[in-house]
Structure 1
Amino acid sequence: MARRMWKSQSGRISVLATIGIFLFVVASGVAATYLYIPRLYTQKLSANITTNAQVPQDDAYQAFIGEVYEKTLNNYFDKITDEQLSELFRLGVAKLAKADAVLPSKDAVGVKVMLGVAIKDKTAPEKKDFTAQLANIVLVNLKPFGRSGILSEKQQQALVDTVSNIDHSKDLYAALDLPKAASAQAVDDAFKKKETELAQKAKTDPEAKKQLDDATHARNVLTDTKTKQRYDKTGAEPTVVSHLIAPTVAYIRLQKFSPQTFDEFVSVANSIADKPGLDSLIIDLRDNIGGAVDLLQYFLGPFIGPGQYGYEFWHKGDLTPYKTKTGWLASLAKYKKVVVLVNGKTQSSAEVMTTTMKKYRVGVIVGTTTKGWGTIEQLIPLDHQIDGEQKYSMLLVQSITVRDDGQPIEGKGVDPMIKITDKDWEKQLRAYFDYPPLVQATKKAWDTPPSQ
């Protein structure tokens, strides 16, 4: 891989969005992030800031904003100056106050003094709301727009649940009219009953088809010992599904990268390893929204070997390489022909996996250009809080991911080796693998929506 800095490729990114600041609550879209959950920064505010501004002792609101300021300055992916960051805070205060705002100095202290002036006549609830909105406005308006923000505890938990593939609105047992923790045998019996009731109706009734699909999914999860135990304990559903799409072709779909995904993948690969005649594999990354990026150092090892340079992240002008932490997986060795499916909803960690597999020629990448979501967000706790009943954290873009050609994934995506929109895509695939069963299986897989 060409080890070129993003700066030298496309020019330095502006850390500010447009001058018009938008109120934006970072509650939507967080499922599509790269996320570092375990590594949390806990830097303390510097106590020695020299300025000509007269600064009173910080109250809770100034301390909160000061910490957001310093942690943004230290951890944001791009180089950002005090002048740039303090100006963004000034614009935020002006937007919220609907009046011009003055910075006594272009640094953290100046921002805190400005905040104190803006909220001095407000009630306590108004001060809390103003301060939280200001922090969120500033973070949201960092480039890329809308990727960073302030998260409440509820939003933090929702983010962690999404990455872990936990959906509290769903009850798999209820899909089979069973109480929670029913036995696997009871699940199987209930599914057969449900299938008998719905099979004929599902052919013409979309609602009946959905109910049958939900029941089938519940049966698959709750009759497997490992997935049932995980679901009963945590509520996490499987992120890896597989089946034989043809007698000689295995199909494995990765829905997202959750903490359990690597173990699920190994288990699935091992479970079909002894099937006779298998020699081809389709890995489906379509609609994969990414997730826990830490997994990739483990996930890529079975495909490219141990201690290999898998990918690089860009942070403040420097590229950091990451090596694989696992090695070859014996149950994958039998597959001599591999196709990887991607589309415009393949994003985040899935895009990094795609570009690495493309770089190492693990398989043939077939589909459409991926989404181009190339940021890594870090969940950062805050030591200073403005509300005893609510604890906030920062979600901040900490790094940018890089393609196999040295270009950023952000805004560009990863191009497939074969575009499925080409009229002769099947001919192109046959040029790689002159094997009709795999070409036919690839067409069948692409024609089937990834959610089914």
Structure 2
Amino acid sequence: MMFKGIKARKILGIFSVLLIFGGGLAGGYFYAQKINSPTKEEAFSFKENTYSPFLSEVYDKIKENYWKSLSDEELTHLFVLGIEKLVGQPQSLKKENKEELLKTADTILKEIDSQEKKKEFVAQLADIVLANLEPFGRSRLYSKKDETALKNNVENKNPSVDQYEILGVLENDSQEKIKEAYRVKEQELVVEAKTSTEAAQKLSQIENSFRVLGDEESRQLYDTTGVEPTITYRLLRSNIFYLYFSKISPTTFDELQRVTKKVDSGEDLDTLILDLRGNIGGSIDILPYLLGPFIGEDSYAYQFFHQGERTDFKTRVGWLPSLVRYKRVVVLIDKETQSSAEVIAATLKKYNVGVLVGVTTRGWGTIERVFKLDSQFDDKEEYSMFLVHSLTLRDDGQPIEGQGVEPTVNINNLGWENELYKYFRCEELTEVVKELI
């Protein structure tokens, strides 16, 4: 199935992606000699080495799980180009299939003079092939360290940063001491930050630390799990509530329930501004829960595309009582809104939940998954595959990838403020949105 905006690309010149192991590592170790496939008389067996089972599993899992169906010829060709990149010479196979590919790789490995160089060759070959699957650079070979870093990123954890240390407080200090420490540091930096990049960065760090520690429930979550909050919120007017989603993590749904409940009082509050600008996305698994409060339970929320098939995903929870009060909803997006945040924007647009204001989003419309590899070849490392498994589809059924989600009101258009006003007939809301943008 072909989509608008997804264009066929030539494979020539695609091996420019930097390898995980660093540029310049390949080429110096491997002999520069053309290697043909072994003859029929040369028997090939996995028992001869530990590398062929690994490459075979990588090959099979790409075929089975990659978002686009690949023929043996297409996938084998990618592997051959990878080998050519590493050995610096053209290669030829009698047939473009996995068996012939493994024979060629095995012959090359026999010529490499050390186990460490063999390991580097196999790991780099797998990484090159993965990196050059479309969209280029999204799929990679992951080490255990890479997989841990990904997990921490999705969960919004940063083990290398101590938020208490940044604010200069102790873990058992009271909330009052934390607030005072933040106030003092903010006053020290706020003026200098206007002219100094370094001061601005420090101010941003202490603001984030206070966001983590200044709220008792967020602080408890951080203390017990290391997870930092993904939602910033405040009342902009007595009737306008502002929610900024910096990322989509497994805890974002719980945060949404908690912060909306905090302001769920009075009769004036009826307008919500949901800010997705700069949101890099994150967890996709939480979306059936996160979207339910906006569009209702058991509603068709979004679709994935995988190897010619579309899969529908429904919401698993219903309306959130603390959100029902909002009769006017504005969703802010920009060119840095990406991934699962784009799915949220597309779904809200499809259901007319809010008016999307901003510019077309980034167009990062892929769903990646980590696939364990049972066949390993290095006792000191454990590899896995980070692979683009599906494409996300926007409200018109087209891929988000490469196209993005278009706003309802584009701020690049002259007179966009008047266009926004027509939706709500509220000058105050229009002015607040202008201030935020």
TM-score calculated relative to the size of structure 1: 0.87
* Structure 2 match to 1:81: 71
Say which of 311, 329, 333 aligns to 2:324: 333
How far did residue 192 of structure 1 move? 3.8
Counterparts of residues 218-257 of structure 1 (less than 5 Å): 218-257=209-248
1:111 aligned partner? 101
Query: Aligned equivalents of 1:166 and 1:75: distance in 2?
Result: 28
What is the count of residue pairs matched by the alignment? 418
3-state SS in 2 of match to 1:147 = coil
Which segment drifts farther, 146-155 or 216-225? 216-225
- Partner of residue 10 from structure 1, selected from 1, 4, 10: 4
Residues 338-389 of structure 1, C-alpha deviations (whole Å, 9 max, x = no match): 0000000000001111111111000100000000111111110101112111
8 Å contact 1:365–1:418 — kept in the other structure?
yes
CA contact (8 A) 2:211 2:229 kept: no
Deviations 1:309-341 (A, max 9, x none): 011111111111111111001111111000000
Aligned pairs for 1:116-135 (under 5 A) are 116-122=106-112, 123-135=114-126
Aligned to 1:419: 410
Q: Does the Cα contact within 8 Å between 1:17 and 1:145 map onto a contact in 2?
A: no
The reply on whether 1:55 has 2:49 as its aligned counterpart is: no
Alignment check: 8 A CA contact 1:14 1:143 kept: no
- Quick check: 1:383 aligned with 2:377? no
- 1:228-272 Cα distance to aligned partner (Å, 9 max, x none): 112122322110000011221110011111111111111111111
Counterpart of 1:37 in structure 2 is none
Q: Is the 8 A contact 1:104 1:113 kept in 2?
A: no
Describe the shift of the 1:429–1:68 C-alpha distance in structure 2 as closer, same or farther (beyond 3 A): same
Residue 136 of structure 1 is matched in structure 2 by 127
Tell me: higher relative CO, structure 1 or 2? Use CA pairs within 8 A at least 6 residues apart.
Answer: 1
Q: Displacement of 1:209 after TM fit?
A: 4.9
SS of residue paired to 1:103: coil
Q: CA deviation at 1:216?
A: 3.6
| CA displacement at 1:397 relative to structure 2 | 0.8
Mapped to 2, the partners of 1:226 and 1:104 lie a distance apart of: 64
Write out the 4+ residue segments of structure 1 that deviate beyond 6 Å after TM superposition. Answer: none
Which residue identity does 1:373 align to in structure 2? Answer: W
What code does the residue aligned with 1:420 have?
I
Is the 2:14–2:132 contact (alpha carbons within 8 Å) kept by the matching residues of 1?
Answer: no
Structure 1: give runs of 5+ residues left out of the alignment.
Answer: 1-6, 29-50, 447-452
Contact 2:296 2:319 in 1 (8 A): yes
Which residue does 1:35 correspond to in 2?
A: none
1:170 partner amino acid: V
Residues 72-124 of structure 1: per-residue CA shift (max 9 Å, x gap): 01101111111111111111111101122232442222221111111112110
Q: Deviations over 1:43-89 (max 9, x none)?
A: xxxxxxxx998422342111110100000011011111111111111
Instruction: Give yes or no for the alignment of 1:102 onto 2:92.
Output: yes
- Paired with 2:391 and 2:429, the residues of 1 have a C-alpha distance of 35
- 8 Å CA contact retained: 1:304, 1:360: yes
Shift of 1:27: 9.8
Partner of 1:32: none
Whether the aligned pair in 1 keeps the contact of 2:273 and 2:329 (CA below 8 Å) is yes
Tell me the TM-score normalised to structure 2 length. Answer: 0.90
Partner SS for 2:3: helix
- Aligned-partner residue type, residue 238 of structure 2: P
Aligned match of 1:156 = 147
**Residues 46 and 52 in structure 2, CA contact (< 8 A), matched pair in contact too:** no
Q: Which moved more, 1:210-219 or 1:333-342?
A: 210-219
- Say if 2:130 and 2:139, in contact at 8 Å, map to a contact too: yes
Mapped partners of 2:191, 2:415: distance in 1: 38
* 1:312-327 matched pairs, under 5 angstroms: 312-327=303-318
SS in 2 for 1:120: helix
